[in-house]
Structure 1
Amino acid sequence: MADMTSPVPSAPLLDVRDLGIAFRSGAGMVQVTRDVTFAIAPGETVGLVGESGCGKTVTGLALMGLLPSATSHITGSVQLEGENLIGMPARQLQRRRGAKISMIFQEPMSALDPVFTIGQQISETLRAHRSVSAKEARERGIEALARVGIPEPALRFDAYPHQLSGGMRQRAMIAIAIVCEPRLLIADEPTTALDVTVQAQIVDVLGDLCARLGMAMLFITHDLGLVAQTCSRLVTMYAGEVIEQGRIDDMLVRPRHPYTSGLLRSLPALAARKTKLPAIPGRVPMRGEMPDGCRFRPRCDFALPPCEAPQPLDPVPPVGQVRCCRNDELELKGVLS
């Protein structure tokens, strides 16, 4: 039986606790995230949502160990199958990155190396983690391209990134990420800049891969429609903090934080024609301009003096959490649904 304060069973695949990320600047250390806590069970797909600038991508990069050590400072713990990735020696982390945990980056044209073929980039990943010959690496690379739905995979294997369409490049990125069949896949805005039809195809590919390979996935996006399609749980981030998390069905119908409610209300509805689309006023605060207490307070319609105090991430039975001192009161009034 799951613990009431924990959103996943007691033995998660990924367990992130109190993750804090700070970067060095001319003015000193700038805190980007703080107290980021969530977990992912084996085979589970979790959505991480929030506006641009809320800390979603930098959290994904921290999980992968891809932030520059010279200019960043990371605290907390990231347990992957019981091993803490934070502070792990670079050589050990390198062996796990790509083999146990992998990432689909947001913009494939900038993530793929333009001077190497798609096949060379897949083979490099495979041979770094598996003892395979060049011939076997080619065969398994072509198989990975076929898995993600690329037609004529043997031909595309020898193509350069600029010779592929945007959708094909994204599929190639996925192939590189899954060729070693990692336990956890981080998908950072995998459908950005793709048309709706290709978006649906990419989401189907990811869902099918997770089901066939038994992978867990952290799906980073600002598209709540895609989250509703693909995820079993939802984590909302705002201004570098996790402010709500829980089962997707619960949060879409009964959000407990005003920010999650605002994101849901801002979605276009077919029934509300010729009406003004609701919007959250203001913007995400800049680093170094964070308000005291609840970081969403300056934009919140329900803020009161108690919101000026620091807000803990409180349990919401049976398996949720929320960072809002008024969540029970607002839930009873039904103003967030």
Structure 2
Amino acid sequence: MSARFTIDGSAALEQHLAVTCMQVRAGVERLIPRHKLEGLVLAGGYGRGEGGVLREGMRDLPYNDLEFFVFISGSTFLNDRRYKAALHRLGESLSSAVGIDVEFKILSLSRLRRSPVSMFYYDLVMGHRWIIGDDSLFAGCDHHRDASRIPLHEATRLLFNRCSGLLFAAERLAQKDFTTADADFVGRNLAKARLAIGDVILTMAGGYHWSCLERHRQLQVIAESDTQLVTHHAAGVAFKLHPTRSTKSRSELAAEHAALSHLAQTIFLRLENQRLGIHCATPSDYVTNSTNKCPEVPLWKNILIRLRKRGLPLSPARYPREHLLHELVTLLWTNRDADHRTMRQYTELWNCFN
């Protein structure tokens, strides 16, 4: 892995991030007993050496969250109950000093080794920076290193999240007042969607890669004739590496949003038709199609969720994300005049399952 946190950030930014990692290590070692702590790793863009560099004036500033995995032996459920609150407090205290969010996720190495392949775990195992430990701790995780094994429902999850961002951006664009903070929010979510659309195409072709730069190189090969797709992805990669705060007008952003939403609709239907073996030509076809949209989730898990969270939509045999998929498609592509209450309900359920 790269010895750097960013591709071209200043020496001062690199030092700032290195010192933060030392502070994180010291804090984690105070909280987790030595015999329980298996390792500590920085994931995300900075862990992969492709962290965002926000350039303001003469300074390079961090932009992305710092995402740390704390590997603790034993039951992850029990470790969550025992250490999650303390790690959250540590993250909050460091976040104010660092200027970006510092987040912790608790996991055990044994659970990682036996977990099924996902885009999330592929990115973690292939692109990371050890703060405590080394790559020998990932022995037995070879199944997470093969991008061709990432299931298509992972691509659906990615596009679902980024299209939800487009939906939230549409809500901001429709407000009576449109502030500079709203412009930045919309611009940021457009950039994330641009990147995700190309990443989904790569995942469908079995060619996803942990590096956003390598993903773009591969997309240029497999989608050479689709200049619109490649151009959007290039803009997404550029924003990921060198984010900016959007100062565009509402009308400019609305035009970009409309074009990108149309492309996202096309890719979403292509993905879902391939994943589920269905034929839906329009968003309405997708919503009315009775096929189980989350067949990868076992029945016992759906029933357990229903018992724990009363009042959820759909039958106990269906995973609640199916309802969210239908709502997203309806709100973003078929009925754009949703009232505030409907959007609030969608947002609450989205936060519950993400």
Common topology (TM > 0.5): no
Q: Which one scores higher on RCO, CA 8 angstroms, separation ≥ 6?
A: 1
TM-score by length of 2: 0.25
TM-score by length of 1: 0.26
Give the structure with the larger helix fraction. 2
Give the structure with the larger strand fraction. 1
